């Protein structure tokens, strides 16, 4: 936080670099910088849909998995700006046993991170692991929609694990809503399947938090980056 040096699991060449200072120097003006998930969360917390909520967790589930927590319109970043990096929590041992999964090494340097199993590539990896079939996302979803048994088994296992992840975030943060972005958020079925999956990992009687797709889709990160300046202004005045 004090040095401005970045730590990046998926873009290793940025690790240790002071990108914000470098950009500010090159452009000869001040620059606001944050990670894509925080920008996404900030954007989705500032929509008509989000107005009724004060605590929003924006989660990008695409090639990787990361999030941002916005409380009353402000991003909660934490001491090292590392808050909401939930994609790098370890997959619970329950799932390792239930689905006979190995611990995979993650780009961040840790083992068995959630994003290895629950991101878009994670879903395809799971299917390969279970069935031996290396499919593209479209094909897997097409098979799932036609009731193909192995595709259904993969998607059900994946939803089970993803539901647990959101339930655990809910138990820690007790947010009003999760807004999902990234490639996986375009799979329509997840919005009907996730609440049931989340309920299995919440106290009986506790309703799962709302889960919505992003209002601004793939443009939300950029919209959020623009909002960083609005946020900065609001903090200064
Ligand atoms: Zn990781």
Please tell me the distance from the alpha carbon of residue 159 to that of residue 39, in angstroms, as a whole number.
25
CA of 64 to the centre of ligand 1 (A): 9
Do 213 and 169 fall within a single domain? Answer: yes
Do 105 and 122 fall within a single domain? Answer: yes
CA of 129 to the centre of ligand 1 (A): 19
CA of 157 to the centre of ligand 1 (A): 20
CA of 10 to the centre of ligand 1 (A): 9
Do 98 and 27 fall within a single domain? Answer: no
CA of 173 to the centre of ligand 1 (A): 21
CA of 18 to the centre of ligand 1 (A): 22
Please tell me the distance from the alpha carbon of residue 176 to that of residue 193, in angstroms, as a whole number.
18
* CA quadruple 17, 22, 24, 25: dihedral sign: positive
CA of 119 to the centre of ligand 1 (A): 12
Q: Which of 231, 221, 210, 232 is nearest to 53 (CA)?
A: 210
Please tell me the distance from the alpha carbon of residue 61 to that of residue 221, in angstroms, as a whole number.
13
Q: Which residues are CB-neighbours of 50 under 8 A, at least 6 positions away?
A: 44, 56, 177, 179, 215
Q: Report the pLDDT value the prediction gives residue 232, as an integer from 0 to 100.
A: 76
CA of 58 to the centre of ligand 1 (A): 18
Do 53 and 150 fall within a single domain? Answer: yes
Q: Report the pLDDT value the prediction gives residue 9, as an integer from 0 to 100.
A: 67
Q: Report the pLDDT value the prediction gives residue 2, as an integer from 0 to 100.
A: 83
Q: Is residue 52 part of a domain?
A: yes
CA of 118 to the centre of ligand 1 (A): 12
CA of 9 to the centre of ligand 1 (A): 7
Q: Which of 203, 196, 192, 193 is nearest to 170 (CA)?
A: 203
Q: Report the pLDDT value the prediction gives residue 196, as an integer from 0 to 100.
A: 97
Q: Report the pLDDT value the prediction gives residue 177, as an integer from 0 to 100.
A: 97
Please tell me the distance from the alpha carbon of residue 7 to that of residue 17, in angstroms, as a whole number.
8
**Domain carrying residue 15:** 1-31
CA of 197 to the centre of ligand 1 (A): 23
CA of 130 to the centre of ligand 1 (A): 22
Structural domains in the chain (count): 2
Exposure pattern of 37-65 as b/e (b: 16+ CB <10 Å)?
Answer: bbbbbbbbbbbebbeebebbbbbbbbebb
Do 46 and 75 fall within a single domain? Answer: yes
Do 1 and 64 fall within a single domain? Answer: no
Do 1 and 83 fall within a single domain? Answer: no
Please tell me the distance from the alpha carbon of residue 187 to that of residue 144, in angstroms, as a whole number.
11
The tens place of each residue's pLDDT in the chain, 237 residues long, gives 788 888 876 788 888 999 989 999 999 998 888 989 999 999 999 999 898 999 999 999 999 999 999 999 999 999 988 899 999 999 999 999 999 999 999 988 899 999 999 999 999 999 999 999 999 999 999 999 999 999 999 999 999 999 999 999 999 999 999 999 999 999 999 999 999 999 999 999 999 999 999 999 989 999 999 999 887 777 666
Please tell me the distance from the alpha carbon of residue 127 to that of residue 144, in angstroms, as a whole number.
11
Q: Is residue 192 part of a domain?
A: yes
CATH number, domain of 125, equals 3.30.420.40
CA of 109 to the centre of ligand 1 (A): 6
């Amino acid at each position: 936080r004090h040095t401005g040096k970045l730590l990046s699991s998926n873009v290793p060449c940025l690790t240790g670099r002071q990108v914000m200072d470098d950009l500010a120097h090159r452009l000869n003006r001040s620059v606001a910088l944050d990670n894509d998930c925080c920008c996404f969360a900030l954007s989705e917390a500032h929509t008509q849909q989000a107005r009724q909520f004060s605590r929003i967790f924006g989660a990008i589930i695409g090639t990787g998995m990361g999030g941002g927590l916005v409380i009353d319109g402000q991003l909660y970043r934490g001491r090292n700006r590392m808050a909401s990096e939930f994609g790098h929590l370890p997959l619970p041992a329950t799932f390792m046993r239930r689905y006979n999964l190995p611990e995979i090494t993650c780009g961040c340097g840790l083992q068995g991170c959630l994003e290895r199993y629950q991101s878009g590539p994670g879903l395809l990896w799971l299917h390969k692991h279970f069935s031996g079939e290396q499919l593209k996302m479209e094909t897997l979803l097409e098979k799932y929609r036609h009731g193909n048994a192995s595709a259904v088994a993969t998607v059900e296992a994946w939803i089970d694990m993803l539901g647990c992840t959101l339930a655990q975030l809910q138990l820690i943060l007790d947010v009003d809503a999760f807004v999902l972005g990234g490639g996986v958020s375009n799979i329509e079925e997840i919005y009907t399947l996730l609440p049931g999956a989340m309920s299995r990992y919440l106290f009986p009687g506790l309703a799962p938090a709302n889960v919505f797709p992003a209002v601004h889709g793939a443009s939300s990160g950029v919209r959020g980056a623009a909002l960083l300046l609005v946020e900065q202004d609001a903090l200064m005045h």
